Amino acid sequence: MKTLEHLIENNRIWANSIKEKDPDFFSKLSKQQAPEYLWIGCSDSRVPANQIIDLQPGEVFVHRNIANVVVHTDLNCMSVIQFAVEILRVKHIIVCGHYGCGGIKAALENQEHGLIDNWLRHIKDVIRFNAHEFEGLDHEQQLDLLCELNVKEQVRNICNTTIVQNTWKQGKELTVHGWIYSIENGVLKDLDACKGGNNP
């Protein structure tokens, strides 16, 4: 059986370096979780939430899946949103997609990929809803556009959940943002898809 001792060693080095800078870091972290942000992003290993927005552990609550999709029947995602909004009382939900997303690319292709095709149906719906916007674009332009449109669709899906709707009805502060990340230069872009209690 292969062990991953090198990863355990990496962890020891990392934990020691944190404790050298701040001896009480882990004891403080273990006592409380009070993030202001919920990040819903892609599972892609090149898109680590905390690093991209330069926040420490404990400062952002994270949910990730293939192509950052929010489906109302996905009890995992809905549970994360409910916990973040009702228990942690986050003030911001960020949907962050990224250019060059493999899930988005697979949704654009006319070939079978297996089980994941069921998940990609949600992205194919985004294509169907916005078919006219893809006309005349080459493949790369279509891919970039779909990455952006998918984020905007997921923002709408979050805003239409009973969790968010009830939070707004109660007059509580909560804003939903749509961002996209470029792996090529490390820069985030706001897609102007921001929704709040007074702007649903």
128 is catalytic: no
- Identify the active-site residue in 44, 92, 96, 122: 44
> Which of these is catalytic: 77, 101, 147, 159?
101
Active-site hit among 42, 96, 147, 159: 42
Q: Is 192 exposed, middle or buried (0-12, 13-18, 19+ CB in 10 A)?
A: exposed
Please indicate whether residue 54 is annotated as part of the active site: no
For residue 187, the one-letter residue type is V
Active-site entry in 12, 46, 72, 139: 46
Active site residue 147: no
Contacts of 197 (CB under 8 A, 6+ apart): 167, 168, 171, 172, 173, 174
156 tagged catalytic: no
Catalytic pick from 64, 98, 122, 177?
A: 98
46 counts as catalytic: yes
Beta bridge partners of 41: 64, 96
Catalytic residues: 42, 44, 46, 98, 101
